[in-house]
Amino acid sequence: MSMPVVVRELGSVEYSPTLQRMLDFTLQRDGDTADEIWLLQHPPVFTLGTNADPAHVINPGDIPVVQVDRGGQVTYHGPGQLVAYVLLDLKRLRLGIRDLVCHLENSVINTLAGYDILATGRDGAPGVYVDDHKIASIGLRIRKNCSYHGIAVNVHPDLEPFGRINPCGYEGLPVTSIAALTSAQAGQTPTLNEVGTALLNSLSAQLDLGLSKA
């Protein structure tokens, strides 16, 4: 196990300043910098990856559209969605990019299993799915052998904005949430904090990380 990863719980934060903060952290870090995981949620925003086709944004309405430097197509972030940004030194962890994606997917899958939700990954389509519905997206960027961006898990967001885009570039891809899948179980929908704790535990186990809250 490497040095402990610093966990920062940032609450609700605007997207663009947070992206700049991630980039600054990554560019300024060196081999002695501790890795970090940031847990947060964003106000409503659509983000377009580096090779995203703007045509996949069908009707943004009053939700801003931001071009970003992660991989992947278009996705939505908003209140009720848990975002985990993973700022990891892949060389120090001896991880390839595909290894990291698999570990992130498995962390979400294991987290959802704790709520009796059977989820899987898909070959060639990063993210986590329940049947044919997407419940979590993954997008990363690697600089200086270090990752940033990360995972977005739908806990209890308004799902309507996903209908304004082709999620992750797939026309008509249905999207779901933990709340939608547990609504028949009165009082069983977990909070963002509860899912965040479960996800951190899964990430720690998958990546063999020690965690230290800031």
- Would you list the DSSP string of 74-130? EEEE-TTEEEEEEE-BHHHHT--HHHHHHHHHHHHHHHHHTTT---B--TTS-SEEE
Q: Which residues is 196 bridged to in the sheet?
A: none
- The active-site residue, picked from 112, 128, 168, 175, is 168
Give the span between the Cα atoms of 25 and 106, in whole angstroms: 26
Give the span between the Cα atoms of 102 and 122, in whole angstroms: 10
Residue 146 annotated among the catalytic residues of the structure: no
Give the span between the Cα atoms of 173 and 109, in whole angstroms: 19
Give the span between the Cα atoms of 169 and 177, in whole angstroms: 19
Active site residues: 168
